[in-house]
Amino acid sequence: MSGNILSSSEALALLGIFLGIVAKAFSPYLRKSIIDNEPLKWEHRYTAIIIMCAITSILTFPQYSPPPDGLNVLVAAISFGIAIEWGVTELYQWGASAYNSLTKKNGES
């Protein structure tokens, strides 16, 4: 990043990262809604997910180096965002699975 102001490619990259993270975060909900043929309705927990997606985007953006030209910036950034969210989701699932496994072994519920 150059100084305090984002260049247009950096802003596009940040937007792409955010959109990629949001797309991956909401894809299971959308898939379930389509498969079960249920109408979409907003729940308050989705607001928290959007906030966490924004925080994750801001925290991971400094590690990202956008390509030098237009559309490739957005495509690469969305891909990067999807990969970041996939990693976060997988870590959570592994952690929750390990926690559940440990609590069952200790006789807790």
User: Of 69, 56, 51, whose CA–CA distance to 14 is shortest?
Assistant: 56
User: Is residue 62 situated within a structural domain?
Assistant: yes
Show Cβ contacts of residue 56 under 8 Å, excluding neighbours closer than 6 positions.
21, 84, 85, 88
pTM of whole model > 0.85? no
In a domain, 3, yes or no: no
| 5-42 tens-digit pLDDT | 777 778 888 888 888 888 888 877 777 778 788 887 88
Selection from 73, 68, 60 nearest residue 12 by Cα: 73
Q: How far apart are the first and last CA of the chain?
A: 48
Count of the separate structural domains present in the chain: 1
DSSP assignment letter at 61: G
* 64: containing domain: 8-105
